[in-house]
Amino acid sequence: MSASGNLKIGFVGIGNMGQPMAGHLVKAGWEVAVYDTDLAKAAAFAAAQGCAHIGSLAELGARSDVVVLMLPDGKIVRRVVLGVDEAGDHLLAGMAKGGSFIDMSSSAPVGTRELGAELAQKGYGLIDAPVSGGVKGAVAGTLAIMVGGDEALAARFDSLLSAMGRRFHVGPLGSGHAAKVLNNYVSAAGLAAAAEALLVAQRFGIDGGVLVDVLNASTGRNNSTENKFKQYVLNSAYNSGFSLDLMVKDIQLAMEVAEACAAPTELGHSTLEIWEAAQSWTGSNADHTEFARFILEGASTPAATDKVKASA
């Protein structure tokens, strides 16, 4: 028996975040089937958790009442749900009308509204429910989940989402994704400020760990000073589990939302410029905490300075 009668859940995206999130659904008693492009990973997860794994999106759609999507971006979400020109393996090829989707990815808010309108015309529901809290929060089941969309549909799946964290219904469809990227912009700005403060402190002769302790006991503390600098930066681990590329993408999306609303965001654009410079400096596949390494080791070099100026 599932946690909610006969409701069957599909879960697409068994990555660093998706694995523990789907695991919490299984542990809570939901009837879950998973899919990932890495079929071996999905099979191993399913064997460990005692749930089903499905080899195609169409098959997953056919056996699911609701599909949770935890993917890198909205373009991939759209392709997984609708296919390319409705061709190829995709969820709607199998899902019965009346089914629903929960997009927990970091998707573009405007794109989410467009996808929702298309799905509604075809007879399907969509809510967006992106998360904050990183791998640590996903494992602990304490993610902040920002829900956007029809309130009745969100309420229908609230107990499902509750297995993964704390829910906040923030507004109509797309609002969850807007809140998520705005949150990540604020997080990125806080990390940048702390990294620059650390650089100044070290050059002035203050131990970095001592400065972090001071910040965390004072008004300068933020999520990065509390949960990232000693854990991933000062020990040179740089393995928080969230990529620098995804952080840059989220800041870009936040600035797109700001521009769509004609809201001035001078600090936001400056934050984006320096994060894009860090992305260029670190190369692809860097952990987002390597932004601090860029500041501490590379930002003052002529080449890095030129990149920041060029992006301005």
CA pair distance 189, 196, nearest whole angstrom: 11
Q: Residue 194 burial by CB count (10 A; 0-12/13-18/19+): exposed, middle or buried? A: buried
Burial 226-264 (b: 16+ CB within 10 A, else e): ebbbbebbbeeebebbbbbbebbbbbbbbbebbeeeeee
CB 128 within 8 A of CB 148: yes
Residue 124 makes CB contacts below 8 A (sequence gap 6+) with 92, 95, 97, 98, 99, 100, 101
DSSP conformation class of 2? B
CA pair distance 182, 30, nearest whole angstrom: 31
Q: Catalytic residue at 8?
A: no
Q: Of the listed 8, 41, 136, 180, which one is catalytic?
A: 180
CA pair distance 42, 33, nearest whole angstrom: 10
Residues with active-site annotation: 180
